[in-house]
Amino acid sequence: MIWLQNALAFLVTLGILVTIHEYGHYIVARWCGVKVLRFSLGMGKVIYSKRLGKDQTEWAISLLPLGGYVKMLDAREQGADSIKPEELPREFGQQSVWKRIAIVAAGPVANFLLAIFLYTVLFVHGVPEPMAKIRVASDTTVAYQAGLRYGDEITSVNDTLVQSWSEFRWKMMQASMAGKDAVLTVQRKMPGQTAGLKRFTVVLSTAHLNTKELEGDFLNQLGLNLAGSPEVVLEEFLPDSPALKAGLQVGDRVLEVNQKPLLDVIDFRQAVNANADKALKLLVQRGQEKLEVQVIPVSQEVNGKTQGMLKVKLRPMSPEMTVIQASVLQALYKSVEKTWDTSIFSLKMMGKMLTGSVSLKNITGPLTIADYAGQTSRTSAISYLAFIAVISISLGVMNLLPIPVLDGGHLLYYSLEVLTGKPLQDRYVEMGQRAGVFLLLTMMAIAFFNDIARLVS
């Protein structure tokens, strides 16, 4: 049933985004005095419609759910002879170039406003997120050599405050894509000291990251991961578990392996995996009692490598959480900033794709979007609304690209009209439309190919 949930979440998402986008065109067209003939959700054959209002605008649902449109009184489509003389002042082409620019730009602007609204609601409500506490285990990583240690909390990146792991990752990605060093403000708990906290700065170089690493888990390449709970608790034993045979029990907390204190579940797994058929001495907390248990992990082949296994299930490693919350004005400011940053980052990514600096594999299509829509809708309403905000921004940016047949292409034509004082000749517009359709079909083909490749892999 997961595919059905994904499909429903995707259709709801698309319905919201298309409605908002097209309503932006519709409402500004009405403000500018243009007559709107049809408002359609979906493309192709109309399967349901109802006429409303003084102008008897047809509100329609069409067969293909991918997209929508607003059909205005336009001599280029209906023909000048078919328009009544008294309605000519309300024809789209009769409007000033600035009104036409406003009508066309209103769709993408509506998507940006939707994202700002959703983010504002989320920030006012409060968004639970993992804290920006890092896991640095290996002394060979860039992060460790720069001075970062397990459990350090990042409070700012390049003088910009971060309150959560997602904000930290976002600011690090911006710095990495720009090829800049990341100056981190770090807060560290000092064991055994009553003062408790030590604050300092660390400069983390990202210059060595190549394009492929930036497209993947680039934080892991730097040696940075999200820190989780330090507790290693046994929850369940699988059949023939050497841990059960050694006397371990459900609820035992493992503190040390071979007299080395454990950082977290990952640290314990790595120690077990690296010691197939070798005796390990575990220090275990059982209630108020501490005891030592010797256990020998059995060897098992995993992806062509021999690893040690204890055949136990551990309590999931949960990160320390915080709630990102703000007043209405603060939330509005954060929302505008987040929408702007995301838009600029999207444009930079597109630019890098055009120059070949970033792989075209980053182009995603409806299958990937449907998958994420389903995942976020199953997680929580907060996650789903945040997902809609991100896709709304992407839709707004995409439609502003100067590609004929998109809103940005029409804005390009009207901008040339402002500069030259006369509309672009019809033959040039027609040539541009053909090129735009070809480019969009190519992008759609790449997106579908990438979607299918992800599903197969």
List, as one string, the DSSP characters of 371-433. HHHHHHHHH-HHHHHHHHHHHHHHHHHHHHSS-TTSHHHHHHHHHHHHHHSSPPPHHHHHHHH
Instruction: Answer yes or no: is 347 within a domain.
Output: yes
| C-alpha 24, offset from chain centre | 24
Other beta carbons within 10 angstroms of residue 62's beta carbon come to 19
Same domain, 171 and 211: yes
Q: Are 292 and 351 in a shared domain?
A: no
Question: Domain of 294: which CATH number?
Answer: 2.30.42.10
Final residue before a domain boundary, out of 207, 226, 245: 226
Tell me, yes or no, whether 322 lies in a domain. no
Shared domain check, 442 and 346: yes
Query: pLDDT tens per residue, the chain (457 residues)?
Result: 788 888 899 999 999 999 999 999 999 999 999 999 999 999 999 999 999 989 999 999 999 888 899 999 998 888 878 888 888 999 998 999 999 999 999 999 999 999 999 999 999 999 999 999 999 878 888 899 999 999 899 999 999 999 999 999 999 988 888 888 899 999 998 776 656 788 999 998 877 776 665 666 788 888 899 998 888 999 999 999 999 999 999 999 999 999 999 888 988 999 999 999 999 999 999 999 999 999 999 998 888 888 999 999 999 888 889 999 999 999 999 999 999 999 998 898 888 888 777 777 878 888 888 888 999 999 899 999 999 999 999 999 999 999 888 999 999 999 999 999 888 888 888 888 888 888 888 988 988 888 888 877 7
Q: Domain boundary residue among 226, 248, 282?
A: 226
Task: Answer whether 372's CB lies under 8 Å from 451's CB.
Answer: no
DSSP string of 8-35, one letter each residue: HHHHHHHHHHHHHHHHHHHHHHHHTTPP
Secondary structure of residue 141 in the 3-state scheme:
coil
Q: Is residue 211 part of a domain?
A: yes
Same domain, 213 and 163: yes
Q: Are 444 and 368 members of one domain? A: yes
22 is catalytic: yes
Alpha-carbon span 409 to 427, nearest angstrom: 15
Rounded Cα gap, residues 39 and 273, in angstroms: 61
272 lies in a domain?
yes
Select from 226, 247, 282 the last residue of a domain. Answer: 226
Q: Is residue 187 part of a domain?
A: yes
Q: Is 256 found in the same domain as 218?
A: no
Same domain, residue pair 339 and 449? yes
Max distance between CA atoms of the chain, in angstroms, equals 95
Q: Is residue 47 part of a domain?
A: no
Residues 443, 356 share a domain: yes
| Residue 179 tokens, joined | 């090829």
> What's the number of CA atoms in the CB half-sphere (13 Å) around residue 9?
27
363 and 255 co-located in one domain: no
Contact 294/283 with Cβ under 8 angstroms? no
DSSP helix/strand/coil, 182: strand
What per-residue confidence (pLDDT) applies to 355?
Answer: 79
Q: Out of 22, 91, 153, 167, which one is annotated catalytic? A: 22
437 & 397 share domain:
yes
Domain range for 283: 234-309
Number of domains in the chain: 3
**Residue 54, domain member (yes or no):** no
Asked if residue 419 and residue 339 are part of one domain, the reply reads yes
Rounded distance between C-alpha atoms, residue 288 and residue 307, angstroms: 32
CA proximity to 361, closest of 244, 446, 255: 446
If you search the block for the tokens 């102008």, which residue do you land on?
55
In a domain, 51, yes or no: no
Closest C-alpha to 432, from 408, 399, 397, 456: 408
- Asked if residue 219 and residue 114 are part of one domain, the reply reads no
CA distance 334 to 358: 28
